[in-house]
Every structure is written in structure tokens, then in C-alpha cells.
Structure 1
Amino acid sequence: MRSTLSRSTAALKPSVRPSMPAILAAIALFPSASVFAQDATPDESSTTTPASASANGPAPASAPAAAPAAAQAASGQTLAPVVVTASRTAQSVTEALPHTTVVTQEDIVNSQAPDLRSLLRNQAGVEFSTNGGMGTNTSLFMRGANSNQVLIMIDGVRISGVSNGNAQIANILPDQIDHIEVVRGNVSALYGSDAVGGVVQIFTKSGAGQAPAANAQVEYGSNNTRQGTVGYGGQIGATSFNVTGSMYKTDGFSAINAAQWNADNPKSAARGIGPNPANNPYENKSISGQIKHQFTQDWDAGVATYYSNSQLSYDNAYGKPTDDYRMDSKLYTLSAFVNGKVLPDWTTHFKVAQSEDRSEGTINGLFDSLFSTRTRQFNWQNEYALTPDHTLMFGTDWLQQELASSSYNAPSRNVFSVYGGYEGRIGKHQIQLNGRNDHYSDFGDQGSFFAGYGYYLTSAVKLLANVSNAFRAPTFNELYYPYYGQPNLQPERAKSAEVGVQVETASTGLLRVTAFETRYNDLIVSALQPSGLYLAQNVNKAKVQGIEAS
């Protein structure tokens, strides 16, 4: 179920609290919302164990005790998927205090979705906009937040371009994906900038816990669409591995009806201006690979990579009908990781990674534009189990972003971050506290926090409440683009609060209803100046309220 949102740009009060109508609406909605329940019986391959979770993201510590999970195990039910994105530690999705859902491998196979947009469009609170068919520019929105206010990661590596803050989600095809974790709401206290509307983390196939096997698939469809996938992976002894390659090719269709456009714009058509009536073909070649080796009971290490190369023909209504506009896009991630135990109660994780988002445009075969972001990151995370029910988490992140552009020059951005957190269970009470400080080389420090609380009315029913703040750093376009960017821009800020109820039963699976409110300050918008130019400025405030069920 998609969330119901209301957005206001009126002046705001400093305090943040869920409105009473939203809370009452959530309670009223709950009894009838079971039709939207998430299936709680994923297949074996989609139930991520703590050991395999560490290969793609922050690995688990000794997680807080999970009473409902223990009850499931005792009754013989299939355990709920383990997630790592909601707290940067491994926990059952039923234990996550931020609203979290998992798109399992079974969901991906059953959906028959050709792209990420089709795969995620039914997720609560997730919306998309696009300007054409396969491969065209696609933006993802969560909880009413802008597309550059949602953090997208592949195997724990940021992939958004620093020029506009968006990721190439149109070029990420489901063939490479094992599962996806979707976390809604402000979690900058875990990940820093961009995690305002939420986080979408994509995990590629790993082969862990499976017998070595090959797989292949070929499809053919309308518009001369051809798709093929081949892969091989599994686990041999202490080593797990997987490699998957795929190709997608289609003749596509024209995103603009040229005849209709010419009829609606006769003056432009008479001057020879208008869209090309030909179809817009698209081609994508992708490959992903992972290998991990368990050296001892407590230590493992490995590497993971993802690569996508696509070519797209697209329409432009303001060129000549004979113009051929093309975009050549590349996206890759490469990471190496080590996970281990320093002491019986102290778990540590190291990851070094690099990603690149590159888009090069041509007109009639001649160079037109280039935007290429290279991101390097280093993560060191630790968990210390005070007791089986109480865990501390602390670490540091380092991030460097560089832009190569044909439109302007920009300095590199360096971000050094420290963070900490606590997760605990005291009887029926569950607590998650997180704090983080990010130091940016271009505008200084930004602090974030998250405080979450859960109360188990019964082993199957939990009440939840979260408060948090978040921020988004200005993109390089907003800072440096000629005749638009403003180097003195400040980060956007957001404060959020939410309440909800979660129910898990054998008949309905896992159901969660959440009412939320987010208030934004210093939103960056394109402001019209007396000179007629549009400049990026911190001028707007906004309020978003909504209810979501999943």
C-alpha cells in the first residue's frame, strides 16, 4: 500500500510531533489493513543469515534478543528475514524500529519485473517518476521526500552522482539482485547525508549456503525485446562465490508522440523544431560478482563488484526531428571487506570501496556532455555486546567524492564521520539510540540523531515510536553550476516523528501501519531572480504527513 501524503509549505513551528488526525487515522486503518500484509514465509535462499549478511553490508554483532523470533523457531515457523540496513547491525525484520521491508529473491522471481522501478513500485511510501520507457531518467521518492533525499546503495556502497544527487536506478536490472532492504524515514544518524526520506539498499547475489550450480534464462517480448542471463555460484567448504551476467536489449518506443506534438506546437513545427519520431532503443549489459572465504570461525574476508553499461536513445522536443540524442551510462561498485571478532563480545568490520557514476551524452554521434562521479569510501564499524540484550555500536566513515564534468569544474568533497549507537531489550521494552557527526570539507559539521522505542503488548503485537533528524548536503550542481549554483548554500535539514503498530501472526504474516510527519527547513529550490536567472537558494520550508501500511 502506498502512503497517503499531504504536503504544506507554510511557515513551521520548531517543534515536531505527529498530528493527532494522522495518529487516529493510523489506528482506524489498522483493523482493515491485513490485506496488505507482507508474506512472512520467504524461501530458504532469501532468509539471510547473520553470517551471510556481513558479506554485503555491516555484519552482525550479538543482536538484542528477539522474543518473537524465538517463538517462531520453537513453533517450527520459517524465521523472518534478517536485515542490516535499519540499524547497521543484523536483526530480524520484525525487530527493526524504523519501518523496514524486504524484497526477497522469491518476490523478485515472482514479480517478473524488467527493472527496479517495476520491482519496487508497490512498496509502501515509494513512488517513481520517469520520462519514457526502459533506461530513461527515473527518480525514486519516499515519504514525499525528493529523489536526492533518498540514499541508494549497492552492497553497502553509495552510488548516487554528486552532480545532481540521483542514482542510475533505471540501469539496475533485477537479474543481478539477491534481495533489497527498504528503510523508510530519517536515518542520517546511521548513514549521514541523503537518508532523509529513507534508504534503499540493494544486495547482489552471493552464493552463500547454496550448492554450486549454474543458471541461465532467455526471454523475448514485444518491441523486439531480448533478455538473457547466465550465472554460476554456490558454496564450497568455507568459500562462497557467485558471478552473474546479463544483457537486455529492446527497440523501445518513442517517448513523445511526434504527430501530436507537431499538432499542438504548429509554430515550432513550421521552424523545423520538434521530437524525432523514431523509436528509442535501449541496451544494457551488467555483471556482478562476489567471493568470500571464512578463514576461521570468527574471521572472514571477501570482495564484491557490480558493473552496468547502457546505451539509450532519447527524445528532445526542442531539437530537430532528425536529431539523434544518445546517452552512454556506466555504473560500477567495487569493495573489499573483512569481518571478525577482536574479543568474544567485540565484533569489528572493515570495508574499502569505490564506485563510479558516469553519463556521456552525444548528439548525432558528436560529444555533447559528460558528468562522472567517482566516490571512494572507507568504513570501520564495531559492535560490543554488553549482555545478550544490550549492544553498543560505534565506528567511523570516510568519504571522498570527485566530479569530472564538461559543464564546470568543482573541488573534491571529503567527509569524515563518527557515529555510535545502542540497542537494547528490557522486558517488553525495545530501544534504539543513534548519533552521528559528519564533517564536510566544504561546509563543516552536521549532527544527526535517531531515537526509537518499541513496546510488545503481546509476542505478536508491538507499538512503535521514533523521533529523528536528518540532512542533505548540497549537490555540486547546486553549488557550482554556471549561472545557477551558489557556493554558500547550507544543507537541507529535516525533523521527523512517527508512531505505529506492528502485528505478526501465522495467518496475516507481518503487518505494520505507520503514521509519520516530517518538517523540512532550508530546502534548496530554484528561485527566480530579478535578472530573470534561476539560482539555487535555501528558501523553502515544508511539512509532509502520511500513513503507510505494509
Structure 2
Amino acid sequence: MYFTFHPRALALAACFAPSLLFAQTPSTPAPNVTTLDTIVATPARMAQPLDKVMGDVSVISGVSLKNAGAESLPTILARQPGIQLYSQGGPQTISGIFVRGASPAQSLVLVNGMRISDTNSGSTNWAAVDPSTIERIEIIRGPASSLYGSSAMGGVINIITKSDGQDRPFSAFGNFGVGSDSTFKTGFGFSGAHNNWNYSLAASYASSDGFNATNPDAGPYVYNADDDGYIQTSLSGSLGYEWNPGQRFDLTFLNGYNHGDFDSGEYYQNTYDITRQQAYTLGSTNQITDNWESILAFGYSKSNHDLQTSNDASGRTEIGTIQRQYSWQNNLTLDQNNTLSLVLEHLDERATGSSLLSRQHRDTNAAALIYRSDFNRHHVQASVRHDNISGIGSKTTGSLAYDYDLSDSLKLGMAASTGFRAPTFTDLYYPLSWGYQGNPNLKPEKSKNIEASLRYQAEDTQLSLVVFQNKFRDLINPYVCDALFNCTAENTDKATIRGLSLEASHQFGNTLFSAGADFLNPKDDTNGKTLVRRAKQVYRLSVSHKLDNAELGASYQFVGKRYDDKDNTAARKLGSYGLLNLHASYQFNKNLQGQVYWNNVTDKKYNTAYGYNSQGSNVFLNLAWRM
């Protein structure tokens, strides 16, 4: 599918087209809709209203995800407070998320509570997850190892594909969109909850010719002057049934696929990476007594990369992880103000792929206690967890948080927590190759975090300030070499990350203004330099305005300079950049909506990883149907 229009001309016309339609289509009165509380489960491993949770937590709603156009999940996440990203050339390539400056491997990614972070490589298969098939995303910023164990040093990102369980009528949706770079995207889905059943299903397909992922800075063994496209498919869903009050089962699944081109030098043409991500969970929730809720859960996830860099088998590399997770959580209501949870968990991890690791399996047995108390204006959450990991040893982590209601609208909070990350299979067991070998004697990385917050919430106004310090020790340097150039991984590095995050929003009638700023000092304590690919300043500003059946919006994000090497050399400096995005929508009737997105309006040239390009000015037009 090809387009002959000039992207900027079309975008400008489309963004202002809704205003020309006001006189042609009468406004449709909004139906009476009951607003339900947003229920989250990630911050305390139990369901609770979002306005009651403790800690630095946010939710990306399903509406926002389904209205994201053709944007990738990392791009959407990077608009949240405290989150930055890097991408090696587009949505089909390797991307990484920094939560509060922690490395991508130091923040845990879940699907419905099931781990999908690849413990073979430490990465996450973001390319295989389509935002439009997700119900919502729950984000914890700050160490949460005392809740979830290894890798939750910077935070937790939990991708949810099921509803919150509250009754709602049957609804269905579909979309059809086209855009720059011959991008095409379509999808459909439905969901509902009635008569003790809840269900959902969503499917999507996307393809694009893409843009050139690399530039000459990447070097001759990487750079290739061609466009790098992709094909992505995704299927997710859930099914739940409550056969008696307090007695229910839930089944969820996500299955994503991405066939993406990448560059590996001019001598290797048509190289690609097939990425797959699967995650399945089965759970039984049972109210044993009035004060005892039991939750039994089983989860299975499989992540896989299949890289092809030549026309024969010698250029093929497979790498992935299979994880099986078993948990039994017992929630005890001590009285109306106090709850206690006991969690027992077993994790079975197996490395897969063509690399002949010296060991490809490990088990983790864990036990955790979570205490929550709400008494008048005082709120406390404490948790402690002990993990025993085969071949590595034991690690105990804890967290203590206290919130005080200064008024009905103003809350002061303080917290301290510890975290850890077990080394990957590659860090530990990579076989001797080209002078490098894994180190089976590596210790887990560890962190200590303290933070304070002040939050104000009224009907039309929200304000927040969060300040934190996270100290990292025994960080794994993946490439330490001796005088004979024999190289391995060692626990030699340490870092201190200090940060301040400000957020504000206000509703002026039909206009919503939002602004935010993150100030980060991500310091490598071994040399005093700034940690790789982290910016010290990020600013966000957005506005949206409703006009009868139309909505117009704009957002701006500024990201400060970064460095792509440990020594912060000028040659590897990544310049600061600002991105202006515009969007508009028009509601033709209660079921049909037209949407247009014009991203990177000024066609800013920028890099989030040295030698890798980011997308220029681009347009996406979408027709969305809802019932």
C-alpha cells in the first residue's frame, strides 16, 4: 500500500478538518455513564482502588492504549513520569526501558502477573506486544523485589489483558488505519462481564515498510542503507467465572509475533529477527472464610528471538527463555483496618536457543509477607521476601512505606526499600567463545532506595512531587578483561541514581492541561560519569480540547543529552531533542470515530542509541468503531 500525498500537508489538513464538520453533523448527547473506580493489583499484590495505593504508581488505561495509533508500547511508556527509552531503529528492533534510570534488565515486566522478562538475555520482547490488545498497564516506580523478587530494582511494569471484574455490558471494537512508510494496521476485539462471567478477546495485524534503522555512525558491520520494515500480529484475551460469591477462576493469554528487518552491514542483505512472546495464566480465587482469601495461580511464558543474518544456517541464532511460575497467596483480613498476605512462589526458568550454555536451568523458591494498615489518616505498607535461587544463593529484600493524609486532598508519603537482580544465564554460563566466557560465580546485583512524595488530588486538579535516591551495588560489568585479553563478567560496578519528578494537571472546562518534569542524576560511582543512555532532564507538556463531537490535542516532550558509552566521550554523545505531536478525532456518531496522528511534526532528527535512527515526521489515519 503506497501513498503519494505529502505527509505534512495531509497532517495539517486532517488535524483541522474536524472544525469544518461542526456545522454539518449535530452533536450527540453523551449517554449516562457510571464512572467506576480504577482497580489495580500490582502495588500490593491484591485488588484495591487506585486512589488508595501507596507508592509511586500510575495506570495507562485501555482507552489510551487503543487510541495510540501506530505507536509502539515503549514509546507510550516513555511518556509516563520517570521512564525513558532507547530504540535501535524502530518498533521492530531491540528497545529498552529505563524506570527511574535503572537499566532495562533491572525493571521487571509482567503480563497478568506472569514474568516475561527474558532471563537468558535480560531483555523484553517489546516488539511482539501490540498496545491495542491490552486492557491496561500498571506501573510501579521504585524497587519492588520484596513483592516480586529478582529484577524489580527500578520498578515493575504489569501488562493486563483482562478487565477488573466489575460488571459491564458487552462491547466490541475495530479499527482500520494507514500511514507514513506504508504503514497499515487493523484489529478487532470484544469484552464484557455479566451473569458471573467476564471475557475479552483482542486481535491485531500491522505491517510497515519502515525506515532505515541505522546511519553510518553504526559502522560498516551494521550500517545498511535500506528501509527496515516489519509485520506484527497479536492475540490476547481472558475468561473468568464466579460460580459462587468469592469463588472464581480466571484464564488469561497473550501471544505476540513480530517479523522485523534489521541492518547487519552491506554484505548481509535481508537480515531479520522473528520475535515471539507468549504468556498464559490460570488462577483460582477462593474465599475460604470471611477473613481468608486464597489465590492459587499458575503462569507460563515463552520468549524467543530467531535472528537470521545470512542465507545459510551459520547465520542463524536463537535465544529465549521458558518460565513456569506457581504461586499461592493467602490474604488475611485481621480487622477492618489491617490485612496480611502470605505468598509462596516457585519459579522454573529454562534457557533455550542455539548457544550451548554450560547450564540452562534454575529454580527459585520464595516466601513473602505483605502487611497493609489504614487507620484514620495513617497508612502503612510493609513487605519482606526471601528468594532462594539454585546455583546463586539466597536473597532477602524488604520495603516499608508510610503515608499521612494532611487533608482530604493532600498526602505526604515516605518509603524505603531494597531490590536485587539475579544474573542472566548468559552472564553466568556463556561458553568460551572468541576469548569471552560467562562467570558462574557472579553475585546478584542489589539496591537500596529511599523516597518521599507529596500529592494533591481534587476534582479537577492533580499535583505530585516525588524525590528519591537509589544506590546500586555489585553491578555486573559484562566485559572485564585481563592482560591476556581473557574476558568475563564481574561484579565490579556501582551507581547512585537521585531524582525528582514533578507532575501537574488541571481540567478547565473542556480543556485538559498536563505538565511534568523529571530531573535525574544517574551517576556511575566507578568513574563519576553519567550512566549510559540516561538523560538528566525530561520535560512533558500536553493539552487537549473538546469541541462538540471533536477533540484536538498536542503534546511536547523534551529529552536532554545522553552518552552512549561509559566514559561519556564527545564522539558518542547523543544530543538533546524535542518532539511535537498533534492529534485530532471526530465522533461521526456514537459508534464511529475518525482519528489522525501527526508525530514529530518538525521532523526532528535524533538518536536514542548511537548509530541508530529514529522516525521522522509521520502521519497515521485511523477509523475506529466502538459498540
- With normalisation by structure 2, the TM-score equals 0.71
Matched, 1:524 2:493: no
Deviations 1:348-406 (A, max 9, x none): 11111110001111123433101121000011111111111110111101100001221
**Structure 2 counterpart of 1:456, one-letter code:** D
Change over 3 Å in CA distance of 1:503–1:80 after alignment to 2 = farther
Partners of 1:311 and 1:128 in 2: CA distance: 21
Structure 1 counterpart of 2:303:
357
Structure 1 counterpart of 2:438:
485
Partners of 1:323 and 1:439 in 2: CA distance: 46
Partners of 2:364 and 2:51 in 1: CA distance: 33
8 Å Cα contact 2:274-2:306 kept in structure 1: yes
Partners of 1:312 and 1:106 in 2: CA distance: 27
Higher relative contact order (CA 8 A, sep 6+): 1
8 Å Cα contact 2:129-2:256 kept in structure 1: yes
Matched, 1:541 2:488: no
**Structure 2 counterpart of 1:249, one-letter code:** S
Q: Choose which of 366, 379, 395 in structure 2 pairs with 1:430.
A: 379
Partners of 2:49 and 2:278 in 1: CA distance: 30
Partners of 2:345 and 2:209 in 1: CA distance: 43
Q: Choose which of 413, 417, 421 in structure 2 pairs with 1:464.
A: 413
1:200-279 superposed matches below 5 A: 200-206=157-163, 208=165, 209-257=167-215, 275-279=223-227
1:149-188 superposed matches below 5 A: 149-188=106-145
What is the Cα deviation at residue 111 of structure 1? 3.8
**Structure 2 counterpart of 1:388, one-letter code:** Q
8 Å Cα contact 2:352-2:360 kept in structure 1: no
Matched, 1:497 2:450: yes
Deviations 1:300-325 (A, max 9, x none): 112111101111110123x51x5221
8 Å Cα contact 1:422-1:432 kept in structure 2: yes
Deviations 1:427-464 (A, max 9, x none): 21111110000011111210000000011111111110
Structure 2 counterpart of 1:452:
401
> What's the secondary structure of 2:276's corresponding residue?
strand
Matched, 1:337 2:283: yes
Partners of 1:371 and 1:111 in 2: CA distance: 30
What is the Cα deviation at residue 205 of structure 1? 4.1
Identity of matched residues, %: 27
8 Å Cα contact 1:326-1:363 kept in structure 2: yes
**Structure 2 counterpart of 1:385, one-letter code:** T
Matched, 1:515 2:515: no
What is the Cα deviation at residue 274 of structure 1? 6.3
Partners of 1:481 and 1:274 in 2: CA distance: 23
8 Å Cα contact 2:70-2:185 kept in structure 1: no
Structure 2 counterpart of 1:197:
154
Partners of 2:55 and 2:164 in 1: CA distance: 28
Unmatched runs of 5 consecutive residues or more in structure 1: 1-42, 48-75
Partners of 1:241 and 1:81 in 2: CA distance: 18
**Structure 1 counterpart of 2:185, one-letter code:** Q
What is the Cα deviation at residue 232 of structure 1? 2.6
Structure 1 counterpart of 2:271:
325
8 Å Cα contact 1:206-1:291 kept in structure 2: no
Deviations 1:43-65 (A, max 9, x none): 99xx9xxxxxxxxxxxxxxxxxx
What is the Cα deviation at residue 154 of structure 1? 0.7
8 Å Cα contact 2:450-2:469 kept in structure 1: yes
Q: How many residues align?
A: 464
> What's the secondary structure of 2:119's corresponding residue?
coil
**Structure 2 counterpart of 1:542, one-letter code:** A
Deviations 1:181-219 (A, max 9, x none): 110001100000000000000111449533224322111
Partners of 1:221 and 1:534 in 2: CA distance: 47
**Structure 2 counterpart of 1:415, one-letter code:** T
8 Å Cα contact 2:57-2:140 kept in structure 1: yes
Partners of 1:226 and 1:112 in 2: CA distance: 10
- With normalisation by structure 1, the TM-score equals 0.81
Partners of 2:484 and 2:259 in 1: CA distance: 38
Partners of 1:274 and 1:499 in 2: CA distance: 44
Structure 2 counterpart of 1:54:
none
Structure 2 counterpart of 1:287:
235
RMSD between aligned alpha carbons?
2.1
Change over 3 Å in CA distance of 1:80–1:530 after alignment to 2 = farther
8 Å Cα contact 2:99-2:107 kept in structure 1: yes
Structure 2 counterpart of 1:387:
335
Partners of 2:467 and 2:208 in 1: CA distance: 41
> What's the secondary structure of 1:309's corresponding residue?
strand
Structure 2 counterpart of 1:439:
388
**Structure 1 counterpart of 2:399, one-letter code:** F
Deviations 1:154-197 (A, max 9, x none): 11110011112111113211111111111000110000000000
Partners of 2:327 and 2:367 in 1: CA distance: 10
Structure 2 counterpart of 1:7:
none
What is the Cα deviation at residue 253 of structure 1? 1.3
Structure 1 counterpart of 2:623:
none
Change over 3 Å in CA distance of 1:206–1:97 after alignment to 2 = closer
**Structure 1 counterpart of 2:394, one-letter code:** D
Partners of 2:62 and 2:470 in 1: CA distance: 32
> What's the secondary structure of 2:428's corresponding residue?
helix
8 Å Cα contact 1:473-1:492 kept in structure 2: yes
Deviations 1:67-126 (A, max 9, x none): xxxxxxxxx9x5652221111122222222220011112322444352102211111110
8 Å Cα contact 1:97-1:466 kept in structure 2: no
Partners of 1:294 and 1:314 in 2: CA distance: 47
8 Å Cα contact 2:127-2:275 kept in structure 1: no
Change over 3 Å in CA distance of 1:274–1:360 after alignment to 2 = closer
> What's the secondary structure of 1:232's corresponding residue?
strand
Unmatched runs of 5 consecutive residues or more in structure 2: 1-29, 504-627
Partners of 1:203 and 1:365 in 2: CA distance: 39
8 Å Cα contact 2:360-2:425 kept in structure 1: no
8 Å Cα contact 1:527-1:535 kept in structure 2: yes
Matched, 1:145 2:93: no
1:401-416 superposed matches below 5 A: 401-409=349-357, 410-416=359-365
8 Å Cα contact 1:529-1:535 kept in structure 2: no
